[in-house]
Amino acid sequence: MPFIHKYLYINYADNELRILNDLLNDLNDLFSDLLINDPLNDLQLCNDLWLHKYYRYFLLGRFFSHCSSLSGCQRTLELCIDSCDANAGCVDVAWVYGSCYLKSSVGSAISNNAVLGAKLVTSSLSSSSSTTASSSGNSVTASSSIGSSTTSSSATPSASTISCPGSDGKTFDAPRGQKFLIECGTDHQGGDMGAPTYPGSFAACMSQCDSTDGCVDVSYVSNGPCYLKRTLGASLANSAIWGAKLASSLPSGIAAKGCYTDSATTRAFPTQIYANSSNTPGLCASACREKGYKYAGTQYGSECWCGPSLPTNTAPASDCSSACAGDPAQTCGGGFRLSVTEDTAWTQKFFARQTYGTWSLLSCYRDNVDGKRTLATGVSIDSGSATVAKCLDACAAKGLAYCGAEYYYECYGGAAKPADGLAVAGVADPLLAGCNYACSGNATEACGGADRLLVYVNNGA
C-alpha cells in the first residue's frame, strides 16, 4: 500500500488534527492512482513521520487546508512537497488534483475534502532541535514539536516594476541582451523545460529563460511559479498568466511594439509589402526598413504591412496568435491583428505620405491628359509653405472627397474618384511613378510631380 507506506497523517489529540485508521484504505483507493511511485530510497518512514529525502519532516493530512499561500502547479503531492522543500520560507502545502499551493505560514485549519495537506514539522533529525533557513530575505523557524510551528517572514519586494497588465506589449531587456515581448494573459501550450522555479519576480523569471539555452518563452504566476518553455505552442488566454516570449530574433535596431487592431475598410498600415511563406517579424521589419518605413506589422501568418506611424488601437497580446509562415515558433499577428515592430534607428527620409487624419493615399495619377484636369477644382494654399496636410485640410474645408498635390505646391480637389485608367500603371510606389517632387513646405514629403497628381481619398467624408 504505497500511500500508507510513504505518507503520514495528522492526528486528533489535544485538539490536534487526526485521520482515523479506518480511512487509510479509503485514502489508498482515492489517491494512490494520483501519486508517483518514487523509489523508496528517496523517502523513509521514521517514527510514523514522513522523512523527506533532504531530511526535513513533513506531516501530511487529508481534509485540511491552511490559509496564506503562493500558488503553483504540480502533478503529485510529492512533487508539491519537493517544491516547498526547495523554497526557503515555505512551511506548508496544499495539493488539489494538480494545483500546488506553497505557504509561508500555517494558518487556521479549514476542512476541505478535496485537499491533501502537508506541513513542515522540523528540518532536523533531532526531535528537540529547531532550524532557521533563509533566502531572498525570507526566514523560517520550525519547531520539531508535532502540530506546532512558528514562522516569520520579511519578504524583500522586487526592484523591478514590470507587471501585468501594465507592461502588456512592452519588451524586457534580459541580462544576456536578449529581448522578451511581454504577453499579459497569454499562456503557450506545452514545451515546459522541467519543473517550475520560484524566482520571486517576473523579471527574474525572464532572466532565468535568458540564461537557459533553448528557452524561448515563459509563463509566470504573480508571486508564484515560473515555467520555462523550449517551444512556443498555441496561444491560450489565461488571465492568471504573465507571459513573455523571446523576441531577440528581430534585426538590430528593431523593437517589438505589441498587438494592434486592423480593419478591412481602414487599414492600420496602408502598404502591404508581400504575402508569402517565408514571413517572420524580422523579415517583415527588414523589408519595411528597406522601403523607408518606421513601422512594420505581420498579419495572419504570411502578410507583411508597413506604415509611417504607430496604429491607434491596441489589442490583447493573445489576439496576435497566428504562427508565422516562415517560422511556426514565432507569431505573426492574426485575423485583422498586426504584430507591430518599430525601427528605432529610423530617420525621416523623402516619402509619399500614406495617411493624414481620415485621408489615405490612393495612387499617383497622370494629369493634363488631353488638356483635362484629373481633379477639376483648384484649391488655394500658400505656394511657399505647401504640404500634403495643408492641401488636404483645404479640400476638406470645401467638402471635396478627393484631393491631390502636384508640382511642389499645387492643390486640386473633386467630388468623384479619378478614372482608374489615369493611375500610372505598373508601378506601385508613387515616387517611382513620378510623384516625387518635394513639397515647398517640407523637403522630405512628396507633393506630386510634373503632370503627376498624388491623390488622396477622405474616408470620413
- Give 63-121 pLDDT, tens digit per residue: 343 433 344 445 577 778 878 887 878 888 887 766 788 888 888 777 776 678 888 86
Q: Residue 336: its pLDDT value, please?
A: 96
The topology (CATH level 3) of 171-246 is Hepatocyte Growth Factor (3.50.4)
For the segment 284-318, what is each residue's pLDDT rounded down to a tens digit? 999 888 877 889 999 999 999 988 789 999 999 88
For the segment 356-399, what is each residue's pLDDT rounded down to a tens digit? 999 999 999 999 999 999 999 999 999 988 999 999 999 999 99
Q: Give 205's contacts (C-beta < 8 A, 6+ positions apart).
A: 197, 199, 218, 220, 226, 242, 244
β-sheet bridge partners, residue 314: 260
Contact (Cβ atoms closer than 8 angstroms) between residue 226 and residue 220: yes
Q: Residue 103: its pLDDT value, please?
A: 86
* 350 vs 399, residue with greater confidence: 399
d(CA 424, CA 445): 19
Q: Which three cell numbers stand for residue 67?
A: 490559509
Distance between alpha carbon 270 and the CA centroid of its chain, in Å? 26
In this prediction, residue 42 has a pLDDT band, given cuts at 50, 70 and 90, of very low
What residue ranges do the domains of the chain occupy?
2-153, 171-246, 254-343, 355-458
Contact (Cβ atoms closer than 8 angstroms) between residue 403 and residue 456: yes
In this prediction, residue 274 has a pLDDT band, given cuts at 50, 70 and 90, of very high
How many CB atoms lie under 10 A from the CB of residue 82? 20
